[in-house]
Amino acid sequence: MSLVRIHNFSVSLDGFATGEGQAPDAPFGHAGERLHEWMFATQFGNRMFGTPGGSTGADNAFTERFNPGIGAEIMGAGKFGPPGWQDDAEWKGWWGPNPPFHTPTYVLTHRPRPSIEMEGGTTFHFLDASPAEALAVARDAAGGQDVRIGGGPSVVRDFLRAGLVDQMHVVQVPILLGRGVRLWDGLESLEDAYDVEMVSTPSGVTHITFSRRA
């Protein structure tokens, strides 16, 4: 069976994966881009924006695992748009006409809408479904490849609580946000189900990988 994977998911030292005050011009609220500056400095991050250059060390090696073998993505309503996007029929996500997913992408929302086909192979589908139900749909679409859980933190937490995640890559960034949405709440002893490895890099971040034990 295909794997369920999480990649490049950044959290602050106090466990927040997004800030407070999300808005159309602030996808991560008061956190701004501070959680992801490490990634934007890599070759992978530069390539996302169509620019040359970027670091090619350990940070880049971790980021490059994002795409290979992925056949579908699942994300939450808060990753797709700011509060109230369901009332904007023209809203198509934060990423412009060619989003970086390039697969069927399932947005979990209590207010589904018709699918949106974008450039580059991304089609957004909107589901009102439990984690297990959404995963079954995404696996069918993935054609035997893996399914990526893209976030935000509430959706990642829900999939972890349901025991559905096989591999997870979390990046601890040396900043304190103080408020926002935390990842780890309610996940006591999560490490008991996984082999955990940590690698710190010169950029100051720590890569934490969780691999489900057989």
User: Are 138 and 146 in contact, with CB atoms under 8 Å apart?
Assistant: no
Per-residue confidence (pLDDT) for residue 48, from 0 to 100 = 87
Residue type, 146: D
Residue 140 exposed, middle or buried by CB count within 10 Å (0-12, 13-18, 19+): exposed
- Alpha carbon distance 91, 77 (integer Å): 12
1-45 confidence digits (pLDDT tens): 899 999 999 999 999 999 999 999 999 999 999 999 999 999 999
Is the pLDDT confidence value at 83 over 90? Answer: yes
User: Are 98 and 123 in contact, with CB atoms under 8 Å apart?
Assistant: no
- Band (pLDDT 50/70/90 cuts) for residue 179 is very high
Is the bond preceding 152 in cis, omega lying within 30 degrees of 0? yes
- Alpha carbon distance 102, 82 (integer Å): 22
Per-residue confidence (pLDDT) for residue 99, from 0 to 100 = 95
111-156 confidence digits (pLDDT tens): 999 999 999 999 999 999 999 999 999 999 999 999 999 999 999 9
Per-residue confidence (pLDDT) for residue 85, from 0 to 100 = 97
- Alpha carbon distance 58, 62 (integer Å): 6
**Mean pLDDT for the stretch of residues 172-197:** 97
Helix (H, G, I), strand (E, B) or coil at 78: helix
Mean pLDDT of the chain: 97
- Band (pLDDT 50/70/90 cuts) for residue 199 is very high
3-state helix, strand, coil in the chain (%, to 5): 25, 30, 45
- Alpha carbon distance 148, 3 (integer Å): 8
Per-residue confidence (pLDDT) for residue 92, from 0 to 100 = 97
Residue type, 94: W
- Alpha carbon distance 209, 191 (integer Å): 10
Is the pLDDT confidence value at 76 over 90? Answer: yes
Q: Report the 10 Å Cβ neighbour count for 53.
A: 11
For the chain, what percent of residues have pLDDT higher than 90? 98
pTM of the model: 0.95
Is the pLDDT confidence value at 214 over 90? Answer: no
- Alpha carbon distance 103, 124 (integer Å): 9
101-110 confidence digits (pLDDT tens): 999 999 999 9
- Band (pLDDT 50/70/90 cuts) for residue 189 is very high
Between β-strands 181-182 and 16-18, what pairing exists: parallel, antiparallel or unpaired? antiparallel
Per-residue confidence (pLDDT) for residue 177, from 0 to 100 = 98
Is the pLDDT confidence value at 64 over 90? Answer: yes
CB neighbour burial string for 160-178, b if at least 16 within 10 angstroms, e if fewer:
beeebbbbbbbbbbebebe
Per-residue confidence (pLDDT) for residue 153, from 0 to 100 = 97
